[in-house]
Amino acid sequence: MTKDIATPTRTKEILKKYGFTFKKSLGQNFLIDTNILNRIVDHAELTDETGAIEIGPGIGALTEQLAKRAKKVLAFEIDQRLLPILADTLSPYPHAKVIHQDVLKANLKETLAQEFEGIEDLMVVANLPYYVTTPILMKLLEEQIPVRGIVVMLQKEVADRIAAKPGTKDYGSLSIAIQYYTEAETVMVVPKTVFNPQPNVDSAVIRLIRRNEPAVKVENEAFFFKVVRASFGQRRKTILNNLVNNLPNGKANKAAIEQALSEASVDPKRRGETLSIEEFGKLSDELGKSFA
């Protein structure tokens, strides 16, 4: 029986054996607590028919736990110094494959179709590098990657923003962008002490389950997101001010914006963070008559 990778001693041994040093620029923080890893995997609800996709496997701590439960694991690793380490640590798991590629540049649909042929249930499970969390999540969602859901560890502050409800200080364009595509919930908070090296912030695990249909039906999706971003341009300003200042030609079309707010039954004095996704949907459809 091989010893789990995610213990402080085994992690230290592996790093020493390969003379591995952490690269700050890649946001490398390795988990050294098997219980936490198992709880993360529990939240993904994998079966022996599931394909698991991991981003940033590090030395394979989470990959190993995924491989124990999934039919196949595919991990994307950007740091080539980790490839020989992963070949070693994952040698007991022939159904775990590592691709040396930046996931943000990958043609994911094509790669997943090839690698998971015949596997219908796909889940993304990862301890994401904090500096690229949002671009990775948005790529997975916007490119309509055929996954059941996403269970990822990220900075607690970002998790709070993703799962935030209208009217709270954390609610913003990121909350809406992710909740448009998925049902989002924070499932656990992870202390910084279970990482090597320790990050400066606490982490959280968030579970995103893909909706069959987006949360709201809109005429023009790209314009809907433009309206959402414009509405949060400056948080202390009213929605009318933000739309006038941040929509293209907003200043010249103030009357049209006021008219759209009225048609959508949104008080122009409200702030963006008080509007629900449904209200943003209605508002973007009204604004679209003049702007999109």
Q: Which residues are annotated as a binding site?
A: 29, 31, 56, 77, 102, 127
The annotation places the binding site for S-adenosyl-L-methionine at: 29, 31, 56, 77, 102, 127
Indicate the SS3 state at residue 144.
coil
Q: List Cα–Cα distances, 203 to 29, 120, 156, 200, 232, in angstroms.
A: 11, 30, 4, 10, 25
* Cβ proximity of 272 and 232 under 8 Å: yes
* Cβ proximity of 95 and 71 under 8 Å: yes
* Cβ proximity of 260 and 286 under 8 Å: yes
Q: CB within 8 A of 160, min separation 6: which ones? A: 170, 186, 204
Cβ burial of 287 (10 Å; 0-12, 13-18, 19+) is buried
Adjacency order of strands within the sheet including 72-77: 96-100, 72-77, 50-55, 121-127, 149-155, 203-210, 182-190
